Chains A and B, each alone.
Chain A
């Protein structure tokens, strides 16, 4: 396949990028002791992008023969021609050094070395553990998912890379009920790697204990009135803030579409304690879900410093936006499937750890909140306004973490929140690996960071 792609794109004429992708997926789910899903999928195909006369065209096919590839290429060139007249700004691509080679998955324990029966047994066991944990648990759910990918990217400029990928994830949900009310406890883990790396990130039994604890704790928790408050955010919420509320506003296509970060390069957008990055490299313990050695335009991964000590330094680029801004591509062009065209996506987005011991972050907070975990719900706009559900919220009184409150959301302008950061913890963890980012097409990404202390608005109830 590598030779076929290389041979065809080399002589096609004009700029061409051809990408073969084969994916195998497995999804196992059990709920309340009933096995709901035992399913697998396999897809393979080729996506071709052509640049002609300043316009791009894209076509995909499942015909993997030379004829099928040539037809897809001709279709992409025809679509580029159809678009040319209507474009206000011709597309140009920033130069990228051709890359060649194979990039394997970093794992000591491949997923396909573990039989289906072992994975089913894990899911069934965890589901049973949740249900047996407490009579207050009224519903349970466990989902194991894995995707194993092979991608080959070839461009007319000489890039030919083969990238192998493997991403397992586990999700444990407990629902506690009492007096007609029900509350959810959700715990997830996801990695780039194999079976051992998934278990090493967080042991499955720990997910069960935490999910059950969170669900039950909410039964007795009161609502809070909300309002502006001093808070300590855990790495999960820091990662969510980095990805959802900041990260999307620095994707160059969103910037050019009118995001609040336009014309803000070189300006202060955060406290000087904040350095915020995106990287497809295996940094900080490795195995983050957004690892991407070479992107789908054939650009090698790097570490992009988006905010350096509070100053906005860069956007995330593909080759088109890099040419527009006259900068180097950052390796963020990603396509989910062969049938998707590469667009600008984050990889692993995080705040660098600081120097404050985590325990010290709570000191001096007379009346505030300790907020833990993204509740997998919320939204953020390109003006950096956001609203996220919080999995667990605790009152902080006179520097001590106290009782839980429920139904808490956080909202505000993400850059205002980052400007208010007055302490950054010395810890770090990746936390968002089980989720999927949606931007027209899905993407597996990760995010994380240290604990931070800041001020933001809590949504509660008028009590």
Chain B
């Protein structure tokens, strides 16, 4: 299947050049998914889908057009569409495709036994999620959830000689729960998990954490208003710190004038306690693959080392615009132009445990989840602290509700006090608890 898909990509490139393209690239994706969803605390629906998608990029000189289809019979028409779009588009000297590069296949992405994972198994896993949640506490309501099994083949070819294909398997689950007690309804909590291997599927940690967070937020009391220390959970770290950081290090945003770190490479942008890496080559890594959306093999990258900014994330376009080597972070599907995105992104764990971070906090709050607004350009954030615990004299002083946290991401990064030793995997992110000072905390 890999070879056939790659051959179609090559055929598409040939068609586009015959039609007049200076250069062409075809990315193809064959995805077969079976899933079972949960709604209203009951099994809702089992579903299956199979889709082949093709995305064609054509260059006419330095003008770029893109078109996509989910029907191989339209490949010729789509090449024609991409060509027409390129001819109509203004030019850009950095529109180019990558040169071929040798790559080593990343191990652990395809489970040979996945074919034995039937729709019945998928349904059973979804039922297991309900069973585990129900056994934790009768007040739990699973509002939404799903288990899915995916088999995917990706292939990409361009007229410069890039040619790569890879098959992978993926098993993912998520659950969204609330707890109800009389008229009291807790905050929603969302947790998820994923693996490439059927034997490694374990739905229990996500279900257990979601249920306990929901239960903990029942019976909250009002908090207090002050400016001080917040300990962000890995989920809150993702929303408050990592998402805007990724916006800032995305080379496309640097070129767009949206990053305030455009001239900060090698300089401190965070406290010394923060180090961040990205590596798409980790064997069996949730976000690993042997090549990026443009067919270039991934590599390991240091983004932030002891608080100093080490690199931006690049694809072929931005690396050309910067005149530096490509970091191989082209991302996206066949339905859109290659973007820039992380792979397996990890915060380097610190030395102290979460309990020690709490013990070091005289006055603060522990934020389980952040529900709010982060402006990645200005860095201003403000939102509701969900599953929040008041911290007093080094101890948890009980759950609080109606508490807003606000501040600025850039200031917060420089005000990081500690990073926890424990980490949590959230899809492709391995993140720790982070203790930050100077956050505005408002009880409503």
Contacts and interface: CB of A to CB of B under 8 A. Distances in A.
A40 interface: yes
A154 to B, nearest CB: 19
A42 interface: yes
Interface string A71-115: 000010011101100111100000000000000000000000000
Given A62-B51, A181-B378, A38 B66 contact: yes
Contact of A59 (B49, B256, B380, B382): B49
Given A86-B127, A377-B373, A459-B382, A59 B48 contact: yes
Nearest to A27: B336
Interface in B10-57: 34, 36, 39-52
B424 interface: no
Interface string B74-90: 10011001101110111
A207 interface: no
A462 B120 CA distance: 54
Contact of B444 (A55, A58, A227, A260): A227
A86 B383 contact: no
A38 B42 contact: no
A76 B253 CA distance: 44
Contacts of B250: none
A358 interface: no
Contacts of A78: 119
A407 B78 contact: no
Interface in A7-60: 31-32, 34-35, 37-45, 55-60
Interface stretch (A251-259, A268-276, A349-357, A396-404): A251-259
B375 interface: yes
A330 interface: no
B216 interface: no
Contacts of B393: none
B258 A175 contact: yes
Contacts of A60: 47-51
A387 interface: yes
Interface in B182-202: 185-188
A87 B51 contact: no
Interface string B423-444: 0000000000000000011101
A184 B377 contact: yes
Contacts of B402: 457
B337 interface: yes
A75 B50 CA distance: 12
A461 interface: yes
Interface string B299-338: 0000000000000000000000000000000000001110
Contacts of A87: 42-43
Interface residues of A, number: 80
Contacts of A138: 257
Contacts of A253: 39-40
B336 A411 contact: no
B74 A42 contact: yes
Interface in B353-383: 371-375, 377-378, 380, 382-383
Given A32-B257, A88-B42, A257-B39, A116 B383 contact: no
Contacts of B256: 31-32, 139, 141
Interface of A: 31-32, 34-35, 37-45, 55-62, 75, 78-80, 82-83, 86-89, 116-117, 120, 124, 138-139, 141, 175, 177, 180-184, 226-228, 253-254, 256-260, 339, 341, 375, 377-379, 381-383, 385, 387-389, 406-409, 411-412, 440, 457, 459-462
28 contacts: A38-B64, A39-B85, A39-B336, A42-B68, A42-B69, A42-B71, A42-B74, A45-B51, A57-B46, A59-B49, A61-B50, A79-B34, A177-B257, A184-B377, A257-B144, A258-B178, A260-B185, A377-B372, A383-B185, A385-B187, A387-B373, A407-B375, A411-B372, A459-B382, A459-B442, A460-B382, A462-B226, A462-B441
Interface of B: 34, 36, 39-52, 64-71, 74, 77-78, 81-82, 84-86, 88-90, 92, 119-120, 123-124, 126-127, 141-144, 178, 180, 185-188, 225-227, 255-258, 260, 335-337, 371-375, 377-378, 380, 382-384, 402, 404, 406-407, 440-442, 444
CB-CB nearest 10 A-B residue pairs: A257-B143, A258-B141, A389-B373, A256-B40, A39-B66, A38-B89, A377-B373, A79-B46, A58-B47, A139-B257
Given A89-B40, A182-B258, 17 more contacts: A39-B67, A41-B68, A42-B70, A42-B74, A42-B77, A42-B78, A55-B43, A79-B119, A257-B141, A341-B45, A377-B375, A381-B371, A387-B384, A409-B406, A460-B442, A461-B407, A462-B225
